[in-house]
Structure 1
């Protein structure tokens, strides 16, 4: 389970932040566009810590500002996601003392970032709307009731909480208390789809595709639902979001040992000639991942 969750946070890396309000909104929107249209994940990863510290300073000045809190949460979650891509590269290389040390260091940094990101997203949601308070700690039955009365305009806050929560769960996947929150995260993403299935370029469908394809049906997984989720993401983004195809190959096709589907999806990704600006970072990460999947396909199948 832990190994199969590693790509969950990579979705987050390229989703990044969306707008809030006033000056924070302008800053977030401009930074969001610049990052999403960048084809160099390493440069983005090196630049993000400065912006994280900037938002820390804004929050220090006004700890109750929900816009700064949610922008900070999104930024830290995105950075943690990029660290996840670095971890995947390191784990695929031949292990040595330095490599293991660096992996552990990045993992600890990820854990700190996602913990803080989830705390800030939860606090921002609570400041925004009383009904959104304590969603990460209440019982499942109460969680269901709360989601039923969430309004359409709450989608931005709710989705930000969901992505931060998913990132936190992934970095704590060895903790069964963290994994016990999986049903809540899935239900939250289903609510996002009910409100607006196109939100964040069908991001909720990609999360559900991964979460439903973690285990075979004999062990409680729902891979056929995962297949539907991935295909919905591909349909909505008109095939432009290559990460949806890569995750479809990694999670569904490999789980079902469907080599033909796996190779077709990977081939589609690697044959893409022009990358739309809106998906540049996401697709750059997807192509990197597709190459790794292609290299390991012969051994896997």
Structure 2
């Protein structure tokens, strides 16, 4: 290769490296903007607008991860966004399809929710592997080894642990007819127990809300326990001083309904519907979703209680 060719090649590589660096810089800057803008979604009053905005944002987040795959902030917001969308919007549509006997539509929606929760889980595991490189491999190991590994996580790791376990647990609970999935529950339980020990108040008492569903949605033959669901959700309501209405809806869904306590069910849902719109401005979207859910479940009261 001649001197001129070598020089040309070096110039090309130099320009290419600058271009890549600028692309990564732009992706990092975009991620920072998204994180700063995230509270605007939580404060949104229009549920339909929020749904479309969040959905369009999901693919952009994955696109950014193609450029900066190891950005911890981006991995966290992508994990939590996929899981939050699945819970807030897809699971609501699953319930509506089931109520209207649209079983084919329900099956499609369940597949979609499982896919979204699966992505949330995988992005969360990628983030956790930044704290412990071999952590994903330990999930297949002996539970004693996993327990030791989980003890190494600290409070700074709570967001990654929570969203990974939440997404994983949610997709399992949507596939309770799968023995292979049910066999994964002990791992998820250990992860969420670590979150509970490190910071029970994270995400509005999120670990307690998780256990509300964990114990409330399963039949007793598979470890369901309405009383434990009650204890956990009441603790979350206490942590948020009753302002986070989704916790109250989950109390009606995961405790009052399984326990067949019609009066608590009715009074809890009516309390949600009567709550002022500005009860918790920072979580207006979640509270409006809770109101939608409460109104729908209250209409089904004679079907749920017999």
Q: TM-score range by the shorter chain?
A: 0.7 to 0.9
Deviations 1:180-238 (A, max 9, x none): 22233233222222212211111111111111223465763332222110110111100
Is 1:147 aligned to residue 144 of structure 2? no
> Which structure exhibits the higher relative contact order, with contacts defined as CA atoms closer than 8 Å and separated by 6 or more residues?
1
Deviations 1:96-139 (A, max 9, x none): xxx54543433333232222222221112102333643354333
What CA distance in whole angstroms lies between the structure 1 residues aligned with 2:172 and 2:158?
Answer: 21
Deviations 1:237-268 (A, max 9, x none): 00011111111111111222222222221221
Which residue of the partner structure matches residue 10 of structure 2? none
Which residue of the partner structure matches residue 232 of structure 1? 235
Is 1:90 aligned to residue 93 of structure 2? no
Q: Do the aligned partners of 2:121 and 2:163 also contact (CA within 8 Å) in 1?
A: no
Tell me the C-alpha RMSD between the 2 structures. Answer: 2.4
Which residue of the partner structure matches residue 38 of structure 1? 44
Segment drifting more, 59-68 vs 277-286 = 59-68
Name the SS for the 2:61 alignment partner.
helix
What CA distance in whole angstroms lies between the structure 1 residues aligned with 2:121 and 2:172?
Answer: 10
5 Å-filtered alignment, 1:1-301, equals: 24-31=31-38, 33-81=39-87, 82-93=89-100, 95=101, 99-130=102-133, 132-134=135-137, 136-215=139-218, 220-274=223-277, 275-301=279-305
Runs of 4+ in structure 1 displaced over 6 angstroms? none
Q: 1:40 to 1:90 in 2, by over 3 A?
A: farther
**Uncovered stretches (5+) of structure 2, i.e. residues with no partner:** 1-27
**Uncovered stretches (5+) of structure 1, i.e. residues with no partner:** 1-20
Q: Do the aligned partners of 2:83 and 2:163 also contact (CA within 8 Å) in 1?
A: no
Aligned length: 276
Q: 1:136 to 1:218 in 2, by over 3 A?
A: closer
What CA distance in whole angstroms lies between the structure 1 residues aligned with 2:115 and 2:31?
Answer: 24
- Bigger-Rg structure (1/2): 2
Name the SS for the 2:161 alignment partner.
helix
Q: Do the aligned partners of 2:58 and 2:78 also contact (CA within 8 Å) in 1?
A: yes
Q: Do the aligned partners of 1:66 and 1:128 also contact (CA within 8 Å) in 2?
A: no
TM-score (norm 1): 0.82
Deviations 1:141-169 (A, max 9, x none): 32222222322221122112112212332
TM-score (norm 2): 0.81
Q: 1:26 to 1:156 in 2, by over 3 A?
A: farther
